[in-house]
Structure 1
Amino acid sequence: MVGFIAGLFVGAVCAWVVVQYFRQNMRLMNEEKQRLEQERTLVLEFMHNLVEGVGEDSPRVDLYRRIVHAAILGTGAVSGALFVPDERKKLHSVAIEGVFPPQRPLPPGTEEKLATRAEFIRKTLESEEIAFGEGVIGQVASEGKEIVVNQPDSDDRVAHHRDPVLRIRALLAVPMYFRKRFLGVVAVANPSDGMGFTDTDVSMVSSLAEQAALAIHNADQVHLQMERQRLDLDLSLAANIQGMLLPNKLPEVKRLELAAMYQTAQQVGGDMYNVIELPLGKIGVAIADVSGKGIAASLLMAICQTALEHLARDGKGPAQVLSGMNEEIIDEIRADMFVTMIYAVIDPVEQTVQLARAGHELPVLLSVPSGNSALTCRTISSEGMALGMVPSDIFDAVIEEVTVPFHPGDVLALYTDGITERINEDGVEYATSRLMDVVRHEHRKGAEAIQSALLASVESFAGAAAPADDMTLMILKGREPVENSKSSA
């Protein structure tokens, strides 16, 4: 009887043990299931927040903060930070939540300055540069693997702070990669329960890091696409403005042949030219090179063209026109921009060219033989500073106006530095001397033919070397009036 009762007792104990074992296993399984469900929920919420962050036209720091906040929520850490590399392979903190401990020991005496400590720590974290391989964060960056430190007191990679607020009790750092591109390190410190980080925490932050890297990559692509669209719009607007500013058709003048061309090195250039019909049969011609490109240069071109038309049609001389233009733009132009320009007035009846030069390339004048004089080809020198560089009193004191004869058969060539500074494959410039050689050789031809010969010469000289600057060229050639030509025939 006693043995029977003892057997029942032993059987009951064994059954109780088995039941408790299965209950414990079920509890552990349920806890693991809950942890996995929590991780899944957190990752999904994190992905949703990141999608919102990527879709918004918000600063990148907002996206970084979302990443750190999600890592803290997933691990129960007290603080976290995100570090990204620069081109020198130095890591910088770009987002911090909580009092994330500095990764280097603070200078002596700092931790005792309680009144300024918080601000000092914040500035220290923001200014910290961590080299690849330095400390836990640097080692994660260099090796590309996560690191968990749950016993920091015996780990030389961890900075040891006396201040209990800054003391590192546990540290988890995980790399962020998109494909093989390293994007940064996300780190969390000091779980709120006072324990170390678990395998579940590592899995959680690793999953977040993968999604964060994808989000950062997508944000880069979105911002790149937006920048391209802005740039395309900027270039399109600038090109439209430029197209409206240049003459659609050159005027027909009885005693003057005109040819002009403009070729941009990019979608939008910085050169301009104009031909203006003036009273008494005179013709005003202008050529200019605006520094810079894009909308800013196009708007400056518009201001110059408007001022030129207004001042020229008032009958002012070249020096007065350039002086007035400088006065118009000096208060509007950016400090890093300027305009070089030549404005000339051709009088076919008096057979003269009157011009002034605002820091532009020297014009070339070919004069055909007349009487005892021989054929000459020379540059016309005159003093002058670029528009928009100096105040009116200085500009007016320097600008010089010159008048030279311009007879039938004479050729005047105006050009921008994109012509004479065109580089060939050996790095040699085309130069004004080559331009003058072509003008001498081709001067008997019409203006269009001279221009074509010059462009062909430039392209032949340059070879396969692409133009680095815009090229603008104007050829003016004096000729006998049509009625005189018929009578002499």
Structure 2
Amino acid sequence: MTIALLVLIVLLMTAGLVMLAQIARQQKHAIAELRAEEEAIVAEERRMFHYLHDLGEAIWRDDQQASMYRLIVEGAIRVTQSTGGALYLFDEASQQLVPRHYSDFCAPLISLPERVRLLMKENPATLLSTLRMHAEPVKSGLLGSVFVQQKTELLSDLGAEMRLGEHLVTSQKGVTAMIGPLSFGMRRLGILAVTSPKDGRSYNANDFEVFNSLIEQSAFALANAMSHQEASKNRMDQQELQNASQIQKVLLPDADPQVPGFIIAGRNIPARTLSGDYFDYLQLPDGRFGAVIADVSGKGLGAAMITVMCRTLMRAKSQGSTSPSSVLAAVNRQIAPDIREDMFITMSYVVMEQNGSTLTLSRAGHNAALLWRKATGKVESIHPPGLGVGIDKGAVFERVTKDASFDMEPGDCLLLYTDGVNEAMDPKGVEFGEERVEEELAKHAPHGPKAVIGGIIMDLEHFLKGRRSHDDITLIAIQKTA
């Protein structure tokens, strides 16, 4: 073997070793890159896991909504390694996207008014306060466009975005952003966005995919949190209504009164948890006795509160006057200035002498009282003129509302009732009617006041065929004894 050949072999071996070393370095570098990429994916997955875990816990806590909004934005910033983020929710009433959380370093996502741009020159903090308060119409601007189109967007340069208008501020230039619509089923909830300076962060296809996943999970969390909070509020509201209902029941008579010369029975059946009807018995000076029945227009808590006002005022005003109409006038003067213009109260107030035969009735726009005469078996209607309480503040009410006096013989039966009785409707929309009320009174009156009330209620239930009445039902029956 010649020296030249040996040299050639050595050179070839050296070149091979160099090549192997180069390949090894390349493989080592590739392995390092793969390892770094794998670690980045693992870190991203870990951030996403923590985000979803925090969201899952927040859904079932009774935290303030602001906590959930902040969690969504800060979680999105953390997962996407962004600089700032913002959450807007859709307000259906105003048709606007309302900012619910705007982080300190999120780029402006709206077109800024000239007034704000001028103020920023003197006080830079003006920008952030504006962003946190300014609601954006859904039919205009960048955010409105994303919301209407319901499509997530990756903006490589916010400063080139025409939907922000012509007059941009410095913090809108050189910024990249991802903006997506939050929706759950058919319910459109709002907008989630993250931003970063282009020189510090450039979103890629994987970031966009991750952000879309964030959008989906955030919308799910928001929808569930809203449902949970609404259910919780409804439970609290229902409990408050139940408490109010119990208080209202306490204010109604708990037993039929014992009045010499008369047998009296009363009943109230609310259509809902709270009743807009009420009735009461009043022990008056000089041995007299009064009974009052009332029906407040409207339903729910407002009507129930008015019934409490009526009860309190009637109990106070009835002690100083012998005339039922003057008592109702005094109640009207107190209530009329304090209730809404679309509300009023119909009332009937009857006063009877102890062991006497003469009764005096005043009617403030209420149903006519019905009097069954034992001697004839006929029903008479007693309807002195009267205006509903709350319609007029005083003078007209007092001019119109009058007393009517009448005598009752032993066995005669007087019925006071609210329009929930005569206006009750069967499944075909037919009303129970005043004529049927008179027939029921005539049928049951010979058996006494309890029979009258029980019989009318039973006949009403049969008439309604198992349906619940749409209005409150209240009745008072008064029979003269020997």
TM over 0.5, yes or no? Answer: yes
User: In angstroms, what is the RMSD of aligned CA positions?
Assistant: 4.0
Q: Match of 2:470?
A: 468
Identify if the C-alpha distance between structure 1 residues 217 and 123 changes in structure 2 by more than 3 Å, giving closer, same or farther.
closer
**Candidates 361, 374, 377, aligned match of 2:367:** 361
Identify if the C-alpha distance between structure 1 residues 112 and 88 changes in structure 2 by more than 3 Å, giving closer, same or farther.
closer
Q: Report the 3-state secondary structure (helix = DSSP H, G, I; strand = E; otherwise coil) of the residue aligned with 1:381.
A: coil
Q: Match of 2:429?
A: 427
Q: Distance in 1 between matches of 2:254 and 2:97?
A: 55
Identify if the C-alpha distance between structure 1 residues 230 and 332 changes in structure 2 by more than 3 Å, giving closer, same or farther.
farther
Q: Match of 2:264?
A: 258
Do structure 1's residue 32 and structure 2's residue 32 form an aligned pair? no
- AA in 2 matched with 1:232: Q
Do structure 1's residue 128 and structure 2's residue 147 form an aligned pair? no
Contact 1:262 1:473 in 2 (8 A): yes
**Candidates 51, 56, 66, aligned match of 1:46:** 51
Q: Report the 3-state secondary structure (helix = DSSP H, G, I; strand = E; otherwise coil) of the residue aligned with 1:257.
A: strand
More off after superposition, 14-23 vs 170-179: 170-179
Q: Match of 1:243?
A: 249
Instruction: Describe how 1:320-335 pairs up with structure 2 within 5 A.
Output: 320-329=326-335
Instruction: Describe how 1:22-171 pairs up with structure 2 within 5 A.
Output: 22-47=27-52, 50=55, 54=59, 57=62, 59-85=64-90, 92-95=97-100, 96-97=102-103, 98=105, 100-102=107-109, 110=114, 114-115=118-119, 122=131, 126-130=135-139, 137-138=146-147, 141=150, 146-150=152-156, 161=166, 163=168, 165-167=171-173, 170-171=176-177
Deviation at 1:287, TM superposition (A): 0.7
Contact 1:177 1:183 in 2 (8 A): yes
Do structure 1's residue 415 and structure 2's residue 417 form an aligned pair? yes
Identify if the C-alpha distance between structure 1 residues 345 and 125 changes in structure 2 by more than 3 Å, giving closer, same or farther.
closer
Do structure 1's residue 234 and structure 2's residue 240 form an aligned pair? yes
Q: Match of 1:346?
A: 352
Q: Distance in 2 between matches of 1:335 and 1:62?
A: 41
Structure 2: tracts of 5 or more residues without a match: 1-5
Identify if the C-alpha distance between structure 1 residues 273 and 463 changes in structure 2 by more than 3 Å, giving closer, same or farther.
same
Identify if the C-alpha distance between structure 1 residues 136 and 283 changes in structure 2 by more than 3 Å, giving closer, same or farther.
closer
Identify if the C-alpha distance between structure 1 residues 450 and 195 changes in structure 2 by more than 3 Å, giving closer, same or farther.
closer
Q: Distance in 2 between matches of 1:316 and 1:29?
A: 99
Q: Distance in 2 between matches of 1:263 and 1:52?
A: 44
Q: Distance in 2 between matches of 1:333 and 1:162?
A: 52
**Candidates 19, 32, 36, aligned match of 2:24:** 19
Cα distance per residue 1:195-227 (max 9 Å; x no partner): 541234224423433442343234223312321
Q: Match of 1:223?
A: 229
Cα distance per residue 1:289-320 (max 9 Å; x no partner): 23455555444433433333343345643123
Q: Distance in 1 between matches of 2:259 and 2:167?
A: 90
**Candidates 380, 384, 387, aligned match of 1:377:** 380
Identify if the C-alpha distance between structure 1 residues 140 and 301 changes in structure 2 by more than 3 Å, giving closer, same or farther.
same
Q: Distance in 2 between matches of 1:191 and 1:37?
A: 25
Q: Distance in 1 between matches of 2:445 and 2:463?
A: 20
Q: Match of 1:453?
A: 455
- AA in 1 matched with 2:386: E
Instruction: Describe how 1:302-321 pairs up with structure 2 within 5 A.
Output: 302-314=308-320, 316-321=322-327
Identify if the C-alpha distance between structure 1 residues 77 and 193 changes in structure 2 by more than 3 Å, giving closer, same or farther.
farther
Identify if the C-alpha distance between structure 1 residues 369 and 112 changes in structure 2 by more than 3 Å, giving closer, same or farther.
closer
Identify if the C-alpha distance between structure 1 residues 330 and 55 changes in structure 2 by more than 3 Å, giving closer, same or farther.
farther
Identify if the C-alpha distance between structure 1 residues 87 and 333 changes in structure 2 by more than 3 Å, giving closer, same or farther.
closer
Q: Report the 3-state secondary structure (helix = DSSP H, G, I; strand = E; otherwise coil) of the residue aligned with 1:24.
A: helix
More off after superposition, 177-186 vs 223-232: 177-186
Q: Distance in 2 between matches of 1:16 and 1:290?
A: 96
Contact 1:140 1:185 in 2 (8 A): no
More off after superposition, 302-311 vs 466-475: 302-311
Cα distance per residue 1:302-355 (max 9 Å; x no partner): 343333334334564312322333355456656665433211102364422212
Q: Distance in 2 between matches of 1:227 and 1:111?
A: 40
Do structure 1's residue 202 and structure 2's residue 208 form an aligned pair? yes
Q: Match of 2:3?
A: none
Contact 1:366 1:378 in 2 (8 A): no
Percent identity of paired positions between Structure 1 and Structure 2 = 25
More off after superposition, 73-82 vs 467-476: 73-82
Q: Match of 1:439?
A: 441
Identify if the C-alpha distance between structure 1 residues 76 and 348 changes in structure 2 by more than 3 Å, giving closer, same or farther.
same
Q: Report the 3-state secondary structure (helix = DSSP H, G, I; strand = E; otherwise coil) of the residue aligned with 1:361.
A: coil
Contact 2:290 2:350 in 1 (8 A): yes
Deviation at 1:285, TM superposition (A): 0.7
Contact 2:99 2:131 in 1 (8 A): no
Identify if the C-alpha distance between structure 1 residues 258 and 160 changes in structure 2 by more than 3 Å, giving closer, same or farther.
closer
- AA in 2 matched with 1:470: D
Cα distance per residue 1:41-72 (max 9 Å; x no partner): 43344346546755665553442243223323
Q: Distance in 1 between matches of 2:463 and 2:20?
A: 101
Deviation at 1:419, TM superposition (A): 0.9
Q: Distance in 1 between matches of 2:94 and 2:363?
A: 51
Q: Distance in 1 between matches of 2:157 and 2:12?
A: 49
Identify if the C-alpha distance between structure 1 residues 52 and 296 changes in structure 2 by more than 3 Å, giving closer, same or farther.
farther
Cα distance per residue 1:243-284 (max 9 Å; x no partner): 211112112344323232211112222211122344555331
Contact 2:370 2:379 in 1 (8 A): no
Do structure 1's residue 290 and structure 2's residue 292 form an aligned pair? no
- AA in 2 matched with 1:20: R
Contact 2:445 2:452 in 1 (8 A): yes
Q: Distance in 2 between matches of 1:307 and 1:360?
A: 18
Identify if the C-alpha distance between structure 1 residues 404 and 194 changes in structure 2 by more than 3 Å, giving closer, same or farther.
same
- AA in 2 matched with 1:432: E
